Structure 1
Amino acid sequence: MTQDHDYAQRLDAAAKALEIDLDLEQSSALLGYIAQLQRWNRTYNLTALRDPEQMLIQHLFDSLAVVGPLDQILYKNTVSTKPLVVDVGSGAGLPGVVLAIMRPHWTIRCVDAVEKKMAFVRQMASVLKLPNLHAVHARVETLPSLEADIVISRAFASLLDFATLAGSHVAQGGQLAAMKGREPLDEIDTLEQQTDWRSRHVQTLHVPELNAQRCLVWLSRQGSS
């Protein structure tokens, strides 16, 4: 069994475990993304992970784990037929590129201050034919408001810094979503003491093949719907 075939089977199993519909085109794009990330990483050091096995689980499966939770929020709350999701501190496009592949009707904007990482995301938008994926090279706090339905981050910053730097990009009634490991109780306390952002819900994420805790912390402005 080749590595590609093994990864394709494991990706299919992960999608089933996460109750996500995954077609052959999406599977090919996800595996192509990881292959490109390995290739670029040799030269540009886009991610600390080097092992393809770790990339598959800790990057791909980890990002897929938020697709369902974002679906639930967007389909319940948004009036837009083409929701905007902004991935802050996106790095090599995690989870932004994965979201763009899985949900072509969403507009995804990946924001990062490191140009080589956004160059990679722009390349992925071209190579993988993702017209809904956009790379923004900037510090997020310097941008005019993007009016996103959801602003998400993965290992970007503390909740306080995330809300302070990126909160202005959330549309009225929208939410911040922070991908974390263990439930960050101290960070939540600090956030709520110093800002008008509140933790609405801490959602446990079950990442296939990953023996570690993961959660998604949903934040909204106090008094918002």
Structure 2
Amino acid sequence: MSAVTERHAQELAQGARTLGVEVSAEQHAQLLAYLALLIKWNKAYNLTAVRDPDEMVSRHLLDSLSVVPYVAEGGDSWLDVGSGGGMPGVPLAILFPERRFTLLDSNGKKTRFLTQVKLELKLANLEVVHSRVEAFTPAQPFSGICSRAFSALADFSNWTRHLGDGQTRWLAMKGVQPDDELQALPADFQMTACQVLRVPGCQGQRHLLILRRTQ
């Protein structure tokens, strides 16, 4: 029996509707296939602290989809820093096949998993990079840089400033609004918005902080 059940499929479909995110039948199938890979590989690779498959739809898939409207406003090239098990990068790559997503992580086991996801789901718009963020030097600045529970905002900003420019939007997915972290933002970064994310099935607060780099 598959680890992904009809209940998971219904929860994903209903949650996407609640978020106002349009998901095609093909994308719905891809998201569930990703969930199946996550459940399978998590046993050996410890990709996520969430062990219960019944919690993964809300805490991983729907949480990732909650930032779709803010990614939709951005440009064509996105970086998911410290992608880990692929959140939010993999779901976003599925939802935006016309945009390029680079998933970066310094953990070899996690990038091996992400490479398998790319191959099995045939995500031609997804690139996996095994590197420390400070050592990564792309050819062009990214139009958007996102992270989910990656690091404190000051570290996120300092470690990725060379990966963006004045047009780049930095999206930091957080739990409670991190007022203390905002106080420690580098002088050349400013928060342009703080959005409350309401994720179906998720307990606790979720916030999205949108940053820009000032010249």
Superposition TM-score tier, normalisation by shorter sequence:
over 0.9
Select the structure with the greater relative contact order (CA < 8 A; seq sep ≥ 6).
2
User: Which of 143, 150, 154 in structure 2 is aligned with 1:149?
Assistant: 143
Hey, what does 2:120 align to over in structure 1? Answer: 127
Question: How big is each residue's C-alpha offset from its partner over 1:145-168, in whole Å with a ceiling of 9 and x where there is no partner?
Answer: 451111000000000000000121
Q: Distance in 2 between matches of 1:5 and 1:26?
A: 16
Hey, what does 1:42 align to over in structure 2? Answer: 43
Q: Distance in 2 between matches of 1:144 and 1:211?
A: 37
Structure 1 consecutive aligned stretches of length 4 or more whose deviation exceeds 6 Å:
none
Report percent identity of matched pairs. 39
Count how many residue pairs are aligned between Structure 1 and Structure 2.
Answer: 212
CA RMSD of aligned residues (A): 1.3
Hey, what does 1:216 align to over in structure 2? Answer: 208
- Residue aligned with 2:58, SS: helix
Q: Distance in 2 between matches of 1:53 and 1:5?
A: 11
Query: Are 1:12 and 2:13 an aligned pair?
Result: yes
Hey, what does 2:197 align to over in structure 1? Answer: 205
Hey, what does 2:89 align to over in structure 1? Answer: 96
Taking structure 1 as the reference length, what is the TM-score of the superposition? 0.91
CA contact (8 A) 2:80 2:104 kept: yes
User: Which of 108, 111, 115 in structure 2 is aligned with 1:115?
Assistant: 108
- Residue aligned with 2:172, SS: strand
Q: Distance in 1 between matches of 2:9 and 2:136?
A: 38
Moved more, 199-208 or 166-175: 166-175
Shift of 1:207: 0.4
Taking structure 2 as the reference length, what is the TM-score of the superposition? 0.95
Shift of 1:195: 2.8
CA contact (8 A) 2:170 2:211 kept: yes
Shift of 1:23: 1.1
**AA matched with 2:93:** A
Q: Is there any run of 5+ residues in structure 1 with no aligned partner, and where?
A: none
